[in-house]
Structure 1
Amino acid sequence: MAFTFNGPLLLVGAGKMGGALIEGLIARGLDPKRVRVQDPSPPSEVAALLAKYGIAAEPRIESLSEAPGVILVAVKPQVMDAVFPPVARLARPQTLTISIAAGRTLQSFEKHLAQGAAVVRAMPNTPAAIGRGITVCAANAHVTPAAQGLCEALLSAVGEVAWVEKEELMDAVTAVSGSGPAYVFLLAECLEKAGIAAGLEAGLAKRLARATVSGAGELLHRSDLDASVLRQNVTSPGGTTAAALGVLMAEGGLGELMTKAVLAGEGRSRELAK
């Protein structure tokens, strides 16, 4: 795949998500020589990845021989105000800035950049580490169709990409797909514990829970059917699955709890963005 932009790609923050993006991009054809990384201490697995491709992680990048074509910001939100302003001074009018820092608004980046700068706020999730993530993006008014296409090409290196027109919807996105993997992992934990409570040996209960959750997820991924139809296909009237679902789908059950959980996450995301 050809990534059309002038100048290097500058990754600011080479944590697990930043490392996953670099690995995915290089696998899809990005020349490692076009990558610059600013991070004082990448985790060991990311440091090994960068070394493999001959990419140096610099504690600071005060200047580049060529202005970056893309700035990909992947640092933790709490250090953004210290890290981003010096980086922003490297940008030129054509530079595309993409942030995957949770809760940081488009405006929080625009205030450090020249007027008219193109900025995309993106929310990936942890399955990006295996190329099966989904990233949702919101763009400011200066992101052209070409810049949007470039952003999508870059972020699709770790999975699917979707867009929302209203930035305020990113709080709901964060609560559904950003935090969502944790809900699925909790389901596996609970299923394992329930298996043990029903008399299964702990190792078998863990194996069954993990294989069931991951296998059902893969079936959902490959199927064109709605999740409700797949659920119904497993459920025989009056059978064991129907008995269990009668508990999960009762008033105050899983559906209501999940809605409460997502709304709680959405509310917290709004608070953190202030």
Structure 2
Amino acid sequence: MTSLDPAPPRKSPSRPEDRRPLGTGPLTSSAVFIDRSLRHSLRDGEGLLMAVALPVMLLLLFTYVFGGAIISEGYVDFVVPGVILTCAGFGAASVAVSVNRDVTLGAMRRFRTMPIVASTVLAGHVVASVMRNLLATVIVILVALLIGFRPTATVLEWIAVLGLVALWILAITALFACIGLVAGSPEAANGYGFVLLFLPYLSSAFVPIATMPDWLQPIARHQPMGPLVDALRALLVGTGEAQLLAPLAWSIGITAGAMVLTAVALRRSGDR
């Protein structure tokens, strides 16, 4: 009588975390999606060019066409902070469309099947946009220097300017990413974002607030762009003492609010 070989021991079912591939933590997946967004930006040469060309054209338009009618001398020093922030808005607006395409074309659903944190997809869009916008901001400042912009800022004041601009770019980009997540189509996402691009024109970015109607002046002073433009102008050309509390509060508050709304939207869009 032959003996049967003992059956091999049965393996216990692996837990989900046991099946997770190595290197799919939040930092790694964020780096992958940042690289993905940057590659898309480089491939979209026309979009990248327009993100830089539009603010430069706006700077030249206001300086050489409207500047003399608004402020007779030194208008380029007055207008540069507003153009910098407008540049941030133009660059961040494309994030709403990019995120919405991921949602509506099915890429987000596919990413949800992978062992990654879903929010890292948006982190890739946001971080890549911040990097593109900072580059565009540097180009705008260089063009401004060529046409007569003469800042008086010290090294510490330039660091403060960079910090304020980077924080604002992060805030508005996070907000645009949230808009892209909840919009019904790329066209709708683009339309909602376009509305936010009017904020610089309702502030002291291009004209003194004193020239506005009385009922509009409080809105211009207390909306997010108002204190931010004034702080950048004070730091760059010394128009007064820079008040940093209000612009910091606006930027941090918008970023935090966008993150909360994005987290809620991600939970509700699981089947999109």
TM-score interval, smaller chain: under 0.3
TM-score under structure 2 length normalisation: 0.26
Asked which structure has the greater CA Rg, the reply is: 2
TM-score under structure 1 length normalisation: 0.26
Which protein has greater RCO, CA pairs closer than 8 Å, 6+ apart? 2
More helix per residue:
2
More strand per residue:
1
